[in-house]
Amino acid sequence: MRTLVAVTLAAAALLQVVAAFLSVRALPHSGSYRYPWIALSLGLVLMVERRVEPLFDFHGGVEDLTDALFALSISALLALSLIGLGRMVRAIRANQEHLARLAITDPLTGLANRRHLLAELERELHRAGRSGHPVSVLMLDLDKFKDINDQYGHAVGDAVLVAVAARCTARLRTIDRCGRVGGEEFVVVLPETDAEGAATTAERVRAKLAEKPIDTVGGPLEVTISIGFVTHEPRRPRADEPAGDNVTGLAQSLLRRADAALYRAKAGGRNSVSGDVSDSPANAGLVAGSDSKANVA
């Protein structure tokens, strides 16, 4: 009898230790529930002592066996509960992370959505204000994309957008941020990039897309893009720019100027790059296109 009680109590203590371990292991995944989960973990750890103590103070009688079986049942239920609770906490954390990604991601291309891209631009403008380094913005738009949707259908149009997103990001640095801000419109934020670097990057992206057709279920399609770019120089602020601490207004101003440059690229024949002529003389001549036109005029 004494041996049976000892084995039962040892099993109860072991299960209590397992329950405490499972609770502590799930703690990093508890997120906003961390404080209740910390309390639960501490309580389970302290209860281990109550399961170990009887191992050194029993007589091996029927009464001790009843208590040991009761302790074993409680410890087993706690361990099983912590297994389920741990899985639930990890699932909640995974769902929260998934929802957070959905909130900032364009579901079709996997790029940043408009809200997140604007937030990234504002962060870079904050950083540029502290460091004094330039920030450039590219505005990209597919040429005659409506014709693709009308002729081949939206499924092919979506496939083209996905391919364009992949080809564009393939020619960007890891620190650059690319997002889809409209139906066929993309924006790229280029940290620490002056007007010359922006023009070079824009032309590289334009050429990458135009170098070969995109394979779709409707057959290979020749797709081109037009790009407008603008550069913000913190050391040379423009008179018409918002105050340096108004990064939201500054971000919107840069997007409007990049969009105006994009319009000039479209008007100049498409499949080309155009800089913001209102920014500075440094942008003049920093424009390239497949037809070698001077789109800044």
Say whether both 272 and 156 belong to one domain.
Answer: yes
User: Residue 62's domain spans which residues?
Assistant: 2-103
Q: Are residues 147 and 236 in the same domain?
A: yes
Domain harbouring 125, CATH code: 3.30.70.270
Q: For 54, which DSSP code?
A: G
Are 163 and 251 in the same domain? Answer: yes
| Catalytic choice (124, 184, 203, 233) | 184
Same domain, 182 and 246: yes
Let me know if residue 41 belongs to a domain. Answer: yes
- Do 241 and 274 belong together in one domain? yes
Using an 8 Å Cβ cutoff, are 82 and 21 in contact? no
pTM: 0.68
CB neighbour burial string for 152-186, b if at least 16 within 10 angstroms, e if fewer: beeebbebbbebbbebbbebbeeebbbbbbeebbb
| Distances 123 to 88, 128, 208, 234, 251 between C-alpha atoms, Å | 35, 9, 28, 14, 10
In tens, the pLDDT along 38-83 reads 887 777 777 777 677 666 665 554 457 777 777 778 778 778 888 8
The domain tally of the chain equals 2
| Same domain as 131, residue 87 | no
Strongest mean pLDDT among 80-89, 263-272, 273-282: 263-272
DSSP reduced 3-state for 157:
helix
Instruction: Please check whether residues 88 and 224 belong to one and the same domain.
Output: no
Alpha-carbon span 58 to 14, nearest angstrom: 18
Write down the pLDDT at residue 230.
96
Residue 241 annotated as catalytic: no
Query: Which of 76, 103, 130 is at the close of a domain?
Result: 103
91 in the same domain as 231? no
DSSP 70-130: HHHHHHHHHHHHHHHHHHHHHHHHHHHHHHHHHHHB-TTT-SB-HHHHHHHHHHHHHHHHH
Q: Answer yes or no: is 236 within a domain.
A: yes
For residues 63 and 206, state if they share a domain.
Answer: no
Q: Which two tokens stand for residue 104?
A: 């900032």
Among 103, 138, 170, identify where a domain stops.
Answer: 103
pLDDT tens, position by position, 116-166: 999 999 999 999 988 889 999 999 999 999 999 999 999 999 999 999 999
The verdict on 190 and 242 lying in the same domain is yes
